Amino acid sequence: MSGYDLSTAQWRKSSYSSGQPDNCLEVSDGHPALVPVRDSKTPHGPVLTFPATDWAAFLDAVKDGHLDAS
């Protein structure tokens, strides 16, 4: 993520975090090539960034139930 400034990023909580206030994931939209992700409990902590195509594949896998815990 070298050289990418997220200091003015707008964050939103994941819709999957509903009802679980201690387990919230936040993402920042509007970044064409990547998706920044952080833990809402530590908003000034580390940010993970994923290529947008990889993030989209991850979301598809979650929606399709491929990552459900057994």
Residues 6+ apart with CB under 8 A from 26: 11, 12, 13, 14, 37, 38, 39, 40, 43
More confident site: 39 or 17: 39
pTM equals 0.76
Where residue 62 falls among pLDDT bands split at 50, 70, 90? confident
